[in-house]
Amino acid sequence: MLVTDKLYFTSTLIAGAGCGSDTFRAWRNRNGLFPETSGGGKWNKFSIIDIFVVSLVNDLTRSGLSAQFAVDAAMKAAPLLEVLFHVPLTKREVLWPSELISKIERKIWPGRTDYPVLNIRPPATSSGQVKVELLTSQTSAETMLRNRAISISVNLLYLSRAALAGMAIADSELEIDGKKRFRPGHAKLSSGEVRQPQSPSRRFKAGD
């Protein structure tokens, strides 16, 4: 199994992303989140990458950005996240996402120096498009120093930790090998055990 396999039902996605069901529904129906699933048989099942995408939307909107901007940015980021977080999953890791945190960190933060960052820039004009780049923490800082426009930096190490922690703490509904499974949440799992982080995104403008 892979992080792109659609295994988790909506309740698990919402727990990982940290948003409400009505909010998630609005992002899909009004803002075009996951348009490729419209009318498909996998409408209610999502992958770990999908959960990271919704986590990104939630984080950006909580930072004060519009839902449409957040959805547009997250959908552009999705292919980059698929490559960055590409790891094989065991059945145990699928059932117990807290055990996946260390594997993800080894993949995206091997030297424990520069961590991966999404650099998001708003469109320059009303008809323009959101620009999304996958950078390291060092190159992201250099890019923001060179650019005069406002940009948003998202720490993907924090984002993935928070999403996997949310999935681990809550009850989880998923499907493995065609069979629906239910895994009770870690109600007593402390934030220290899953290392739940601070907000992943920060907004910068020239001179910051």
**For the chain, what's the residue count?**
208
| CB atoms inside a 10 Å sphere around CB 21 | 11
For residue 187, pLDDT over 80 is answered with no
What mean pLDDT is predicted for residues 125-132?
81
Q: Which helix (H) or strand (E) holds 176?
A: strand 172-176
| CB atoms inside a 10 Å sphere around CB 146 | 8
Query: For residue 38, what are the contacts with CB-CB under 8 A and spacing of at least 6?
Result: none
- pTM of structure: 0.86
Query: What pLDDT is recorded for position 98?
Result: 83
Q: Higher confidence at residue 142 or residue 23? A: 23
Cα–Cα distance, 91 to 145 (Å, whole number): 44
The DSSP code for 115 is P
Question: pLDDT digits over 49-108, tens only?
Answer: 999 999 999 999 999 999 999 999 999 999 999 999 999 999 999 988 888 888 998 888
Residue 143 pLDDT level (bands cut at 50, 70, 90):
low
Q: What angle do CA 155, 148, 61 make, to 5 degrees?
A: 40
Specify the amino acid at residue 197. Answer: P
